[in-house]
A and B are shown apart, each in its own frame.
Chain A
Amino acid sequence: MSLPISWFFVLAIGLFFLGTIGALTRRNGITIFLSIELMLNSVNLILVAYSRLLGDLSGQVIVFFAFAVAAAEAAVGLAIFVTIYRHHRTIDLNRINFLRW
């Protein structure tokens, strides 16, 4: 009995679910960032599973690009957090409301 590919999709949806819950309910900026990374990774898992299912390597190339985009996003996002922390001494998103009127 070989491993069914469809299990990978269910697992990836589960990881995306957990990432969504984390990004919507937590109030700590870094934890929200980690949840977004989790969602990115679950989509990568779906792409690799489809690449295996269809016998097409394009999915893996797109995952390669997604890694680069995730690295750029993490670098800029963490720089923004460092700047916000320098001005406000917190990254609690309940207290960072200077963009609201």
Chain B
Amino acid sequence: MIEIIVFAIFAVLALVSALVVITHPDPVKSTMSLVLTFFSVAVLYVLLHAPFIATLQVLVYTGAILVLFLFVLMLLNISRETHREDKATAQTWLTLLGAGFFFGLLALYFYRSTSGLEPVGDLGGIHELSVLLFSRYLITFEMIGVLLLAAVVGASYLTSRLEEKNS
């Protein structure tokens, strides 16, 4: 029973703060609202018996990625420049209609196909996860390392001022 109450609170919190993310005109406040969304989703991960993923969500997403967003926003000072209110055009309403229809059907499908099913057994914790990570998914794990290295090299090349120095 207590799980249902916690789920209801944090599901509503996640949806409302996600709505604030996509409607607020100020990008800084959007980012802060997304922090709230990610914290709520981390609580939902705990409800799904995935405490390691919840920890990663708080540490990596809200601790690293969103702070990077905030850093760039503060650095460029674009919050004031793009503070103009976006007008709701015909495109907005058509997008709402089409996406609402599609995702309504998708939600119905997911609900129908999983309602009444019970979880199978206990999952195990971080030990089982890391054994899986270093046995079956070892190649993928190494390739993720290469991907992160490529991202670091690409990002630092893009933001360096090499071209201006050469010309």
The docked-state distance in angstroms from the alpha carbon of A17 to that of B153 is 33
- Closest partner residue, chain A, to B93 (CB atom): A25
**Total A-B Cβ pairs within 8 A:** 232
Query: Known contacts A6-B110, A45-B44: does B18 contact A15 (CB below 8 Å)?
Result: yes
Which residues from chain A contact B49 at a C-beta distance below 8 Å?
Answer: 52
- Name the contact of A75 in the complex, choosing from B47, B114, B128, B151 (C-beta under 8 A): B151
The docked-state distance in angstroms from the alpha carbon of A90 to that of B77 is 10
- Name the contact of B119 in the complex, choosing from A52, A70, A91 (C-beta under 8 A): A52
Q: Is the CB of B121 within 8 A of A41?
A: no
Number of interface residues of A (CB under 8 A): 71
- Name the contact of A9 in the complex, choosing from B60, B114, B158 (C-beta under 8 A): B114
Complex interface bits, A45-58 against B, C-beta within 8 A gives 1, otherwise 0: 11011011111011
Q: Is the CB of A76 within 8 A of B151?
A: yes
Q: Which of A8-38 contact B (CB under 8 A)?
A: 8-11, 13-22, 24-28, 30-31, 33-35, 37-38
The docked-state distance in angstroms from the alpha carbon of A18 to that of B147 is 29
Which residues from chain A contact B7 at a C-beta distance below 8 Å?
Answer: 3, 7
- Name the contact of B14 in the complex, choosing from A13, A15, A24, A53 (C-beta under 8 A): A15
Which residues from chain B contact A14 at a C-beta distance below 8 Å?
Answer: 15, 103, 107
- Name the contact of B132 in the complex, choosing from A45, A58, A81 (C-beta under 8 A): A58
Pairs A-B, 10 closest by C-beta atoms: A22-B22, A72-B151, A55-B120, A9-B110, A79-B155, A79-B158, A13-B107, A17-B103, A6-B114, A6-B115
Listed in ascending order, the chain B residues whose CB lies under 8 Å from chain A are 1, 3-4, 7, 11, 14-15, 18-19, 21-22, 27, 30-31, 34, 37-38, 41, 44-45, 47-50, 52-53, 56-57, 60-61, 64-65, 68-69, 72-73, 75-76, 78, 81-82, 86, 88, 91-92, 95-96, 99-100, 103, 106-107, 110-111, 114-117, 119-124, 128-129, 132-133, 136-137, 140-141, 144, 147-148, 150-152, 154-156, 158-159
17 further contact pairs, Cβ within 8 A, besides A57-B123, A76-B154: A4-B115, A21-B22, A24-B95, A25-B86, A25-B91, A26-B22, A28-B27, A31-B27, A37-B65, A41-B38, A53-B117, A55-B122, A57-B132, A61-B137, A71-B65, A75-B154, A75-B155
